[in-house]
Amino acid sequence: MKIADIRLYPVRLPFEGHFATSRGTVGAAATGLPKVFVKMSDEAGHVGWGEAGPSHRWSYETLESVVTTLRHYLIPLALGRDIFDPDGLHRAMDAEIAPGLTRGQPIAKAALDIALHDLIGHALSIPLWAFFGCRRAGQVTLSFTLTARSPEGIEREIAEAEERGYRHYNMKIGANPSEDIALMAAARARATGVVWADANGGYTLPQALAVAKAMEDLGISAFEQPLPANRWSDYAELARRVRVPVGVDESLCSVGDLLELLRLGASPLFVMKVTRMGGLRPARICMDIADHAGLPVLGSGLTDAGVSLLASCHLLAAYGVSMPAALNGPQFLGGDVLESPLLLEGDTLTLPEGPGLGVSVDEEKLIRYRVDI
């Protein structure tokens, strides 16, 4: 069965609030949130949906680069390929768009990979969690992202999150070590569940060592991406010298990256972000490696809308990940493109039973939010 048609839908989804990391604003109401949806069809008329979430202050991929890379390079080589050969699609995509330090343009590639997995699920009439080897639909707990820059602001955000049924928190740090420690102290004092912090590469090694020590005293559960993405020897030194689990996000875009980090002993925690990995196939291989290596897994995302959020949750549920996942699309998005809402109650998402991702995309919503590129 061959891939017969692929359509692209670049959109800007309504965004609520303001989302900043140590690298600047990554989401605001004025600009909306850029996404690229992909509709992939096979010869029998089965349809699969994919989603790319470029965030140009998080990595180098932009709304425009995802669209032109898919349109001019990746879609032409995907058309006509066997739908049951995700590995072959990845080999072809990685040959066409070469690596930089690591996998090249993983977010664009993830859109096709997710669409192909949804399509396979429809062709086989099974949900993705079953395709990944899980025997029944599971649930995934989501965390709330704290972005305030004052202890009072953190307390207000937690009060708002509790009203919405959240119990666990990932927080953004990396701007100023002493201020960040005060923010974490406020969060840890007020929150009932798990709290971990993500510096998005904002610290030097001496700063990260000092912040890690404070995290251990406060009871912060994990330290995500403390250092810039390519400082792997510094990650190894940090992991050797601190007790709080250090995880890398921006640094890890391929299976080879995870193996190298394991060899260096540089990341005692696997931050699983499906789109950063290039999609579900490479992410799944890393989940197997993490499982066999005894590496804990932390689910993460890029303010995903329903398609890529569900792709992540099918994988997390199939592998029984119990840590809450930092998939904050439901927190920040004021609109999605699904025909029916996610099965989300408080902070708990229940996976659908239908084939593939288990949801349908409303193409009228895609037209409503569409931008021309």
Which parts of this chain interact with Mg ion (CB under 5 A)? 198, 249
Q: Which is nearer to Mg ion, 148 or 248 (CB)?
A: 248
DSSP, res 74: I
- Please identify the residue of the shown chain whose CB is closest to the bound Mg ion: 249
Q: Which two tokens stand for residue 340?
A: 């029916």
Q: Which is nearer to Mg ion, 115 or 148 (CB)?
A: 148
Q: Which is nearer to Mg ion, 110 or 130 (CB)?
A: 110
Q: Does residue 117 contact residue 84 with C-beta atoms inside 8 Å? A: no
Following DSSP, what letter does each residue of 235-297 receive, concatenated?
HHHHHHH-SSPEEESTT--SHHHHHHHHHHT--SEEEE-TTTTTSHHHHHHHHHHHHHHT--E
Q: Which is nearer to Mg ion, 51 or 198 (CB)?
A: 198
Rounded to a whole number of angstroms, the minimum distance from the CB of residue 136 to Mg ion is 30
- Residue 317 to residues 41, 50, 121, 205, 294: CA-CA distances in angstroms? 26, 19, 16, 34, 17
Rounded to a whole number of angstroms, the minimum distance from the CB of residue 222 to Mg ion is 10
- Residue 38 to residues 17, 215, 247, 358: CA-CA distances in angstroms? 27, 41, 30, 16
Rounded to a whole number of angstroms, the minimum distance from the CB of residue 18 to Mg ion is 18
Q: List 195's β-bridge partners, or say none.
A: 169
Q: Which is nearer to Mg ion, 70 or 248 (CB)?
A: 248
Q: Does residue 347 contact residue 165 with C-beta atoms inside 8 Å? A: yes
Q: Which two tokens stand for residue 324?
A: 């809450």
Rounded to a whole number of angstroms, the minimum distance from the CB of residue 30 to Mg ion is 24
Going by C-alpha positions, the residue among 155, 202, 160, 195 that lies closest to residue 177 is: 202
Q: Which is nearer to Mg ion, 138 or 202 (CB)?
A: 202
Rounded to a whole number of angstroms, the minimum distance from the CB of residue 335 to Mg ion is 24
Rounded to a whole number of angstroms, the minimum distance from the CB of residue 158 to Mg ion is 20
Rounded to a whole number of angstroms, the minimum distance from the CB of residue 186 to Mg ion is 21
> CA dihedral in degrees (199, 204, 209, 211; nearest 10)?
-40
Q: How far apart are CA 4 and CA 1, in angstroms?
A: 9
Q: Which is nearer to Mg ion, 157 or 198 (CB)?
A: 198
Rounded to a whole number of angstroms, the minimum distance from the CB of residue 83 to Mg ion is 32
Rounded to a whole number of angstroms, the minimum distance from the CB of residue 207 to Mg ion is 17
Going by C-alpha positions, the residue among 245, 243, 227 that lies closest to residue 235 is: 227
Q: Which is nearer to Mg ion, 118 or 198 (CB)?
A: 198
DSSP E strand stretches across the chain: 3-13, 18-21, 24-28, 33-42, 47-52, 139-141, 144-146, 169-172, 195-198, 223-224, 246-248, 269-272, 297-299, 344-345, 348-350
Q: How far apart are CA 208 and CA 203, in angstroms?
A: 6
Q: How far apart are CA 280 and CA 86, in angstroms?
A: 9
Q: Which is nearer to Mg ion, 118 or 224 (CB)?
A: 224
Q: Which is nearer to Mg ion, 47 or 316 (CB)?
A: 316
Rounded to a whole number of angstroms, the minimum distance from the CB of residue 9 to Mg ion is 26
235: CB partners within 8 A, 6+ apart: 227, 246, 248, 251, 261, 264, 266, 267
